[in-house]
Amino acid sequence: MNVNDTEVIFSILADEGYDRTEVMDEADVILANTCSVRDNAEQRIWGRIEQFHQQKKTRPEVVVGIVGCMAERLKDALLDSRKVDLVAGPDSYRSLPQLLRDIAPDRPQINVLLSHEETYGDIRPVRIDRNGVSAFISIMRGCNNVCSYCVVPYTRGAERSRDPRTILREACDVFASGYKEVTLLGQNVDSYLWKGEDGTTVDFADLLEQVALISPELRVRYSTSHPKDISDKLIETMGRHDTICKCIHLPVQSGSDAMLVKMRRRYTRAWYLDRVAKIRSVMPDCAITTDIIAGFCGETEQDHQDTLSIMREVGYDAAFMFQYSERPGTLAARNYPDDIAPEVKTRRLSEIIELQNALSLESNRRDVGKVFRILVEGPSKRNPAELCGRASNNKMCVFPDTAHKAGDYVDVEVLSCTQATLMCRLV
């Protein structure tokens, strides 16, 4: 999501005549687009601010700006460091040109107003991906869920959906310029809802279907579904279209009902497993991936075991796994002590990671012998005589070949695997 926001920022600044550089010494303006979801993400940015400050010592005219969630969360505290000239929250990117014009020595600029309407729907993001094959498209902003551990509703504001006409136009545009895959982005795509002037509505399943029908050559992915909201209609829509990739990211967070209540996730373990069963009944080959938090407030050893057991029960194909990081101002920070000792959090997280590594390997082994249509992304990182690309289930496939190029679809047979990669041959 931040990559896509950066693309929006580049577009707004390009209209003002700014050019993009990745060479810091060359830049007149340095912007860091930031994440607040865990403390370590913020700590990295404080390190970067020090680095930018070194630039200012030799080039006092350089402008240093912090944008995104950390700007929204810390506001003036960033300016108080006296190392930052600009602070702009996620809904204020249209004001960046004005803010940049108004900056003067000892006159830093800040805009952290959140909006109920801003979706940047009319802005054509300047793509910064490197492969020219796969593009992100934001379909909504903000989140109305207030999971108790999560800072996102405070930094990104209330949920709002983008006009589907602008989404379809953007998808058609990127396809026309050579992209072969789009990923539709939202904090909770299942609550996407657009009400037209004529009273008609477009929900996420409708939107996904419309994008899926653009071309048989354009694949569609999306992120993220919320287990409490993922509908039969969405699952059945996915099953109907080959262009919709068969991979669902369904963050479980914990396998314990007590933790799920405290996390305010508003589903139970049984409900979650029922959704998984529905997905598997419609799409037996659909990959399911997840997010897991280890060591949330009051988590007992039994709660932790429940997380390990739901992981085994679902057999996740991949997972993002984190230690709980208390975020100031959230419901959890206000109501529950962050009482799991750091070494216990670390141990539980490593058990979760170890289990997931085994599950990922098992999942990859199940694919040996299968034939997948993959979208070539380019040469593999390790060997220039090999190409790599993803199967519909999002697994990375590597195969010897130099004849094809990024953006081609090819069929490969899986010969062997590691935990992270499927080794294949061209069919």
Token pair, residue 400, equals 């010897």
Q: Min. distance of Cβ 307 from ligand 5AD in angstroms?
A: 12
Q: Min. distance of Cβ 322 from ligand 5AD in angstroms?
A: 4
Taking CA 27 as the corner, what is the angle to CA 26 and CA 30, rounded to the nearest 5 degrees?
145
Cα–Cα distance for residue pair 345/304, rounded to 1 Å: 10
Return the residue of 65, 68, 89, 153 that touches ligand SF4, per CB under 6 A.
153
Nearer to ligand SF4, 36 or 380 (CB): 36
Nearer to ligand SF4, 33 or 109 (CB): 33
Q: Which of 223, 229, 348 is nearest to 288 (CA)?
A: 223
Footprint of ligand 5AD on 111-170 (CB under 6 A): 149-150
Return the residue of 38, 266, 280, 370 that touches ligand 5AD, per CB under 6 A.
38
Q: Min. distance of Cβ 146 from ligand SF4 in angstroms?
A: 6
Nearer to ligand SF4, 56 or 266 (CB): 266
3-state SS assignment for residue 79: helix
Q: Which of 158, 167, 156 is nearest to 121 (CA)?
A: 167
Nearer to ligand 5AD, 74 or 150 (CB): 150
Q: Does residue 226 touch ligand SF4 according to CB under 6 A?
A: yes
Q: Min. distance of Cβ 422 from ligand SF4 in angstroms?
A: 30
Q: Which stretch binds ligand 5AD (CB under 6 A): 58-66, 213-221, 322-330, 391-399?
A: 322-330
Q: Min. distance of Cβ 187 from ligand SF4 in angstroms?
A: 4
Q: Does residue 324 touch ligand 5AD according to CB under 6 A?
A: yes
DSSP 377: E
322 binds, among ligand 5AD, ligand SF4, none (CB under 5 to 8 A by kind): ligand 5AD
**Positions of E strands within 117-246:** 134-138, 140-141, 160-161, 181-185, 193-195, 201-203, 219-223
Q: Does residue 147 touch ligand SF4 according to CB under 6 A?
A: yes
In this structure, the chain runs to a length of: 427
- Classify residue 100 as left (phi > 0), alpha (psi -120 to 50) or beta: alpha
Report the sign of the C-alpha dihedral through residues 123, 191, 391, 350, in that order.
Answer: positive
146 binds, among ligand SF4, ligand 5AD, none (CB under 5 to 8 A by kind): ligand SF4
Cα–Cα distance for residue pair 282/319, rounded to 1 Å: 22
- For residue 316, the number of C-alpha atoms closer than 13 Å in the C-beta half-sphere is 27
Q: Which helix (H) or strand (E) holds 388?
A: strand 386-390
Q: Which of 142, 137, 80, 139 is nearest to 114 (CA)?
A: 142
Return the residue of 125, 251, 389, 407 that touches ligand 5AD, per CB under 6 A.
251
153 binds, among ligand SF4, ligand 5AD, none (CB under 5 to 8 A by kind): ligand SF4
Q: Min. distance of Cβ 206 from ligand 5AD in angstroms?
A: 25
Q: Which of 218, 250, 219 is nearest to 234 (CA)?
A: 250
Q: Which stretch binds ligand SF4 (CB under 6 A): 101-109, 143-151, 236-244, 338-346?
A: 143-151
3-state SS assignment for residue 9: helix
Q: Does residue 71 touch ligand SF4 according to CB under 6 A?
A: no
- C-beta separation of 49 from 81 below 8 A: yes
Task: Summarize as ranges the residues that interact with ligand SF4 (CB under 6 A).
Answer: 143, 145-147, 150, 152-153, 187-188, 226
Which positions touch ligand 5AD (CB under 6 A)? 37-38, 149-150, 251, 253, 291, 293, 322, 324-325, 327
